[in-house]
Structure 1
Amino acid sequence: MKSIFDESTYKEVEERFKKLSRDSEGLWGKMSVGQMLWHCQIFVKDAIKNKKHTKRGNPIISWFFKKSMYSDKLWRKNLPTTPFAKAKEEKEFEVEHKKLLELIKELYSLRDRKDWNAHPFFGDFTPEQWGKLEYKHLDHHLRQFGV
């Protein structure tokens, strides 16, 4: 599994996002390209902030799905997302595109950070697992928009 903390993978992701335009259409799902860019920011920001979370997800569900968050197996199309990460209105492509590229760059700059707090739903992740998870989520949405 690729990791956003690997230089060549980071550059690949950056170039793939640069191929998007305001006219890019999803191959599945309901999000517009602007909404997808906004959605991806939420999870990249969460990794960057690295804050401690007092609430955790359901431990049984978390245990069952945790490995799929960073394994080589692709996520299926049309997976549901958590309500707080659903854009309720349209998002401006240029604004969200610029913000996301800046956040991905910032996340990549943290590749040598040793102390990572637990994921708010899935619990403890190693730095390697965080890098794979972030790549996998971004890749999922890039594939959703055909890039």
Structure 2
Amino acid sequence: MKTIFDKPTRDELIARMNTLNEHSTPEWGKMTAYQMVKHCTQWEQMIAGEIPCKRSFIGRIFGKMALKDFMKADKPIMRNAPTAPELKVTETNGDIAAQKVKWIALFEKNAQSSTRYFVHPFFGKMTREQIGCLAYRHIDHHLRQFNS
């Protein structure tokens, strides 16, 4: 399974990130390109511990089991998957170029991090290896959403 801790994989994702612009349109969902880039930036901030997210009740019940299945699957995340309320972006327009710079910097920083675990709002406690795979799948999901 691909992971952000692999340099060629990071380079591939960054090249895809750089294809996004204010004219990019989604294949599904309601987000604008700016909202998606900002959402992904906030996701990186959550991974870095800069944005706290509450564990969901349903995640406390099914999170560990779902994570086990999620980590086995090597397919894209389903369309219109739910997101943590803290990571929903309401403003529809902004400086996408500046937001991409911030996103890529946080992405690179997190990929270099030696953090051993993270508590995801749905999946719960995750290892570094699980974080790397989930981060790849999350970014890939949104880049596919915008044909990038």
My pick for the range that moved more, 29-38 or 86-95, is: 86-95
- Is 1:141 matched up with 2:130? no
Take 1:66 and 1:32, find their aligned partners in 2: how far apart are those partners?
28
8 Å CA contact 1:57, 1:122 repeated in 2: no
Take 2:9 and 2:3, find their aligned partners in 1: how far apart are those partners?
6
- Give how far 1:143 is off: 0.3
8 Å CA contact 1:47, 1:107 repeated in 2: yes
Partner of 1:10: 10
Structure in which a larger fraction of residues adopt strand: 2
Q: Deviations over 1:126-145 (max 9, x none)?
A: 11101001111000000000
Partner of 1:100: 103
TM-score, normalised relative to structure 1: 0.86
Q: Deviations over 1:93-120 (max 9, x none)?
A: 122111111111111221xx15323324
TM-score, normalised relative to structure 2: 0.85
Runs of 4+ in 1 over 4 A off after TM superposition: 50-53
- Give how far 1:21 is off: 1.4
Root-mean-square deviation (Å): 2.2
Residue-pair matches, total? 144
8 Å CA contact 1:51, 1:117 repeated in 2: no
Q: Which stretches in structure 2 are left out of the alignment for 5+ residues?
A: none
Q: Which stretches in structure 1 are left out of the alignment for 5+ residues?
A: none
Cα distance change of structure 1 residues 91 and 106 upon mapping to structure 2, 3 Å threshold: farther
